[in-house]
Amino acid sequence: MFGFLKRKQKKQPETAAPLEIPVESSAASSIDSPVDSAAEQSIETSIETPAATENKATDNTADLSRSLEKTKRTFSDGMTDFLLGKKSIDSNLIDELETRLLSADVGINATTAIIEKLQNDISRKVISDADSLHIKLADIMKTILLPCEQTLNTDSAKPFVILVVGINGAGKTTSIGKLANHFKQQGKSVMLAAGDTFRAAAVEQLQEWGKRNDVPVVSQGTGADPASVIFDAVQSASSKNIDIIIADTAGRLHTQDNLMDELAKIKRVLSKLDATAPHETLIVMDAGFGQNALHQVQQFHNSIGLTGLAVTKLDGTAKGGILFSIAKTLKLPVRFIGIGEGINDFRPFSASEFVDALLE
């Protein structure tokens, strides 16, 4: 977007990566436990200089920008031609920008907020040309997204239980694989629960991610009661002193009352083990579904109560504007974004990094 106006955004320094600590071998599970070998990992300490940290932040934004290439194209299709050569900012230009934001899935609330702020800055002469418009636009977009930037803190309970929900194919199981890797890199021990007992290959798919991450997977196979699988897994994680348990569930639509009741049952059963569990009810949302996905998430929220969102497939042709709609309407924390199918194609959500990558 606005490639011709390209202006280096100030990179936000990233905090140094935490030390890697091997997962305890006591986490072995009789069900499917590759954790023993993790105990053989050596402790890696990495001390980062401020310069190294700054470089890493720059690389991260560049990486993210590359991953968002298609989203950027969809988001800003024709924007360059539209603004190219504009010497002054007039009302036609602002009208056109408004239309483009709306068609990029930014949604009416966020678009109105952006346009009103820009118009205000234009009348105060803070914005006088396309260059200052670009800078202000970036600032406004970051301000809108910032409330959604809330890191998932998993230290409040042990095991910290993350229940992953969402519609079919949104990227739940893949995100669980990425999350397991993310937490392991933070030195946490992780266990997975195969709560999708509906789809034939779902358990195997999760076990595959378990192997890749070297973490145990608790399962009972297809057709089992998901609440019972997840209950057993949390008990097992407690007895093995596991830090984080991530439970997969089958994809469902908010209109399938029986399946929504099943999620409510899982939550009820978990609260018998720990009144505060699940500690995170994370919905995985495919950004490609745009405003429809937003509606679905709202319905899940009304029905079972969500505490966080992971937005996937932002590497595809999704219109990245959906994040602004989320910020303005759902006001749920966006914990992570998915930018590919690989284990590392995933970022904790940063408003600043996201807008910089989108506008770069």
Ligand X SMILES: Nc1nc2c(ncn2[C@@H]2O[C@H](COP(=O)(O)OP(=O)(O)OP(=O)(O)O)[C@@H](O)[C@H]2O)c(=O)[nH]1
Interface contacts to Mg ion, rule CB under 5 A: 172-173
Contact flag: residue 197 with ligand X (CB under 6 A):
no
- Least Cβ distance, residue 206 to Mg ion (angstroms): 7
State the residue number with the nearest CB to ligand X. Answer: 251
Strand arrangement, sheet containing 190-195: 217-218, 190-195, 244-249, 160-165, 280-286, 308-312, 334-338, 346-348
Part in contact with ligand X (CB under 6 A); list of ranges 100-108, 261-269, 308-316, 323-331: 308-316
Residue 221 CB neighbours (<10 A): 9
Contact flag: residue 44 with ligand X (CB under 6 A):
no
CA separation for the pair 153, 214 (Å, rounded): 22
217 phi, psi to nearest 5 deg: -125, 125
Part in contact with ligand X (CB under 6 A); list of ranges 44-52, 237-245, 335-343, 349-357: 335-343
CA separation for the pair 82, 137 (Å, rounded): 16
- Least Cβ distance, residue 250 to Mg ion (angstroms): 7
Please state whether the peptide bond connecting residue 50 to the residue before it is cis, i.e. omega within 30 degrees of 0.
Answer: no
DSSP designation for 341: S
- In the chain the first and final C-alpha atoms are separated, in Å, by 7
Contact flag: residue 210 with ligand X (CB under 6 A):
no
289 or 324, CB closer to ligand X? 289
> 188 touches which of Mg ion, ligand X, none (CB within 5 to 8 A by kind)?
none
Query: Residues 73, 199, 211, 212: which binds ligand X (CB under 6 A)?
Result: 199
State the residue number with the nearest CB to Mg ion. Answer: 173
Note whether 202 and 194 are within 8 A (CB): yes
187 or 340, CB closer to ligand X? 340
79 or 202, CB closer to ligand X? 202
- Least Cβ distance, residue 221 to Mg ion (angstroms): 15
CA separation for the pair 319, 311 (Å, rounded): 12
- Least Cβ distance, residue 261 to ligand X (angstroms): 18
Q: How far is CA 299 from the centre of its chain?
A: 19
Part in contact with ligand X (CB under 6 A); list of ranges 73-81, 89-97, 179-187, 312-320: 312-320
**Nearest-10 crossing angle of helices 108-123, 130-145:** 140
- Least Cβ distance, residue 292 to Mg ion (angstroms): 19
Query: Residues 58, 340, 343, 348: which binds ligand X (CB under 6 A)?
Result: 340
With 0-12 CB in 10 A as exposed, 13-18 as middle and 19+ as buried, what is 21? middle
Using CB under 6 A, which residues numbered 156 to 195 contact ligand X?
166, 168-174
Torsion angle of alpha carbons 86, 79, 350, 242, nearest 10°? -170
CA separation for the pair 7, 222 (Å, rounded): 53
- Least Cβ distance, residue 343 to ligand X (angstroms): 11
CA atoms within 13 Å, Cβ hemisphere of 343? 15
Using CB under 6 A, which residues numbered 66 to 105 contact ligand X?
none
Tokens of 66: 């590359």
245 or 357, CB closer to Mg ion? 245
- Least Cβ distance, residue 204 to ligand X (angstroms): 11
Query: Residues 29, 312, 350, 352: which binds ligand X (CB under 6 A)?
Result: 312
121 or 345, CB closer to ligand X? 345
Q: Under the rule (CB under 6 A), what is the footprint of ligand X?
A: 166, 168-174, 196, 199, 202, 251, 284, 312-313, 315-316, 338-341, 345
